[in-house]
Amino acid sequence: MPARLRPFLLAPLVLALAGCGEGTGDATGGTAADGAGLQLVASFYPLEYLLERVAGDRATVDTLTAPGVEPHEVELSPRSVGSLGSADLVVYESGMQPAVDDAVGHQAADHSFDVAPAADLLPLGESSDEHGTAASGHDDHDHGPLDPHFWLDPQRYGAVATALGERLAELDPQHAQAYAADAAALVEDLDALDGELAAGLASCEVREVVTTHDAFGYLGARYDLHMTGITGLSPESEPSPARLAEVAALVDRLGVSTIYAEPLLPRAIAETVAEETGAQVLTLDPADGLSSAGSDADYFDIMRTNLATLREGQRCS
């Protein structure tokens, strides 16, 4: 049974800036209605989903990033920051959300769990820009910033699920076997998804994938796709005319027929390259946040929709 999600109390959100959604998250504090269970906080959706699956009904889960907010640029209200101090555990990924890193350091340094080590993050560019189109500001493969989007590789996501189950068992030994069992069940589901993705993307006519920003490197590394992000790692960056021309030339040279926009980012950048090259625009979801509070889709739904989209856009047989 999924963990109970308490209502998300939001300060006013401002969605502005060309190329980026920006918002303020508020996580509720206090205890569960029945006074029982762990009080857990996840920094953004992929970690929230892990907690729901692994903690089950033994915990209440809050999230710091509201649906519809681009997670890289989330801003936390004072209330949200203060609530971290009363949580039993705050689960986050260092380097993904600077505001969360700061808040955890001040309010939850002794009761937080950073998933980055378990994810075994790769340097940005290890699976991207295979054809010499590195975005401005990218460093060499072995020295660049780490790519935080590990959950797009189901195997890495499963490794984090296992580590999270172990951490929850330390926190709540009475239910250690249940956490281990729920983590194992999730890993089994992720293994099945991995097989679906591998089979579905094995025979694609076009292996180059052009996206709005560098969010899909792990997907590319896992399934032998060459990923090019137009704006680089930062989704709010505006590509220069030279960068747009460089990507357009790559699209023409490699026979790319699809540019992928993202649901939480403006489509203008993808549409600019598409108009220049005659490509179509489809939506590929990095699964870093839900698009709306009422969405019934979960991580697995998003990934299977991505598979269908990629099979169309990459002309897979």
Residue 207 sits in which domain range? Answer: 203-313
Q: What pLDDT score does 25 carry? A: 52
Q: What pLDDT score does 93 carry? A: 98
The residue from 149, 166, 194 where one domain ends is 194
Q: For residue 197, what are its two tokens?
A: 């993705």
Q: What pLDDT score does 153 carry? A: 98
Q: Under a CB-based contact definition with an 8 Å cutoff, are residues 150 and 286 in contact? A: no
Q: Let me know whether 252 and 173 are in one domain.
A: no
Coil, helix or strand for 241? Answer: helix
Coil, helix or strand for 255? Answer: coil
Q: Let me know whether 166 and 213 are in one domain.
A: no
Q: Under a CB-based contact definition with an 8 Å cutoff, are residues 295 and 285 in contact? A: no
Q: What pLDDT score does 269 carry? A: 95
Q: Let me know whether 118 and 159 are in one domain.
A: yes
Q: Let me know whether 166 and 217 are in one domain.
A: no
The residue from 125, 159, 194 where one domain ends is 194
Q: Under a CB-based contact definition with an 8 Å cutoff, are residues 286 and 177 in contact? A: no
Give the mean pLDDT per block of 10 residues along the chain (317 residues).
39 32 43 65 98 98 94 92 96 97 97 98 71 43 77 99 99 98 99 99 98 95 96 83 96 97 94 97 96 86 98 98
Q: What pLDDT score does 128 carry? A: 54
Q: Under a CB-based contact definition with an 8 Å cutoff, are residues 256 and 131 in contact? A: no
Please, which residues have CB within 8 angstroms of residue 168's CB and are 6 or more apart in sequence? 38, 54, 55, 59, 89, 175, 179
pTM attached to this predicted model:
0.85
Q: What pLDDT score does 137 carry? A: 41
Q: Name the residue type at position 108.
A: A
Coil, helix or strand for 41? Answer: strand
Q: Let me know whether 31 and 144 are in one domain.
A: yes
DSSP state of 175: G
Q: What is the CATH number of the domain that holds 36?
A: 3.40.50.1980
